[in-house]
Amino acid sequence: MAGFLIKRCAQAVFVVLAVTLLVAWAVRLSGDPAIMMTQGAGSFTAQDLENIRKALGLDRPFSVQYLEFLKDLVTFQLGNSFFGGMPVARLIGEALPSTLLLASVSLLVSLAISVPLGVYAAVHRRSLADQVIRVVSLVGLSLPNFWLAIMLVLVFAVTLGWLPASGNQGPTSIVLPALTMGVILTATNLRLVRTAMLETLTAQYVMVARSKGLSERVVLYKHALRNCAIPIITYVGLQFGNLIGGIVVIEQVFGWPGMGSLAFDAVAARDYPVLQGTVTVLALVIVIVNLLVDLVYGLVDPRIRAE
């Protein structure tokens, strides 16, 4: 197990370094922060722009700027925002919990719906209920997340007034964004659970478990579902990473104060430190989640540890 863990950690370190290099290079293609700072400030000269770049440290070679960024990353400083001078680590520390909370609740909502429905559809294959579940999942796959978000706001916030439309005003504020993302994820997870269970239910050990007189619930959830957990765990881990990386749209629609909103504002302002820090931290979260998924593989199926 130790060798398995060391190998996965080494891969994670390499991925993070590659992401930091790509991010540090790519953010400098988004525009010149000096020009953004001088907008609306009246007339300015080329020397004024050069002075601003020098004050921000942008006059130095890219390699020097990148190495300084790595140093800040190791010391958990991440520099200061170009606009306002607030520490990037503080901005991320305020935004990251909101994004992780939203992603986690959305995933839990999806699993709470998709696992029992997927198992039921597999057990009652080709029944009317199975057909309805498959059609509903197909409809869910076809719905754009931003359209569903707007419809939920119109119905539950504007028309009925049951839930807040935007912001983070308390526990009820997370219901609509989590429901939006959860419904979209459910459509895919439901089909995945159904397919995995169909393959598992024909296995010989399931027939043996039933022949021993075990209850159907024990056969389905203790034996069949556990043995088809690998593809489900794989996709759930990938889904969480996609949630973290693609949460920008939902956070913008609902005004959720998370990492997506922070990154969006940083792109608009050409705030290099905030954008680098935000994308790097999101990449770290995704790498850590995938590392945990690999470790869960080793616990669920010991044969994987030797790979």
Residue spans per domain, the chain: 99-260
Can you give the pTM of this predicted structure? 0.77
Scored b (16 or more CB within 10 A) or e, 179-207 reads bbbbbbbbbbbbbbbbebbeebbeeeebe
CATH among 2.120.10.30, 3.10.20.30, 1.10.3720.10, 3.40.50.300 for 99-260: 1.10.3720.10
DSSP string across 143-172: S-HHHHHHHHIIIIIIIS--S-SSS--SGG
- Cα(210)–Cα(214) distance, integer angstroms: 6
The fraction of the chain above a pLDDT of 90, given in percent, is: 0
Residues in the chain: 307
Q: 304 falls in which pLDDT band (50, 70, 90)?
A: low
Paired with 87 in beta bridges are 80
pLDDT of residue 301: 58
- In this structure, the number of other CB atoms found within 10 A of the CB of residue 160 comes to 9
Q: Which structure tokens are listed for 208? A: 């043996």
Q: 2 falls in which pLDDT band (50, 70, 90)?
A: low
Q: 36 falls in which pLDDT band (50, 70, 90)?
A: confident
**Of 39 and 136, more confident:** 136
- Give CA 206 to chain center in angstroms: 35
Q: 70 falls in which pLDDT band (50, 70, 90)?
A: confident
- Give CA 123 to chain center in angstroms: 31
Identify the burial level of 28 via C-beta atoms within 10 angstroms of its C-beta, where 0-12 means exposed, 13-18 middle and 19 or more buried: middle
- In this structure, the number of other CB atoms found within 10 A of the CB of residue 115 comes to 19
Give the chain's mean pLDDT: 79
pLDDT of residue 59: 80
Torsion of CA 210, 212, 214, 216, to 10 degrees: 10
- DSSP SS3 for 57: coil
Give the contacts of 280 (CB within 8 A, at least 6 positions apart): 16, 19, 20, 23, 73, 78
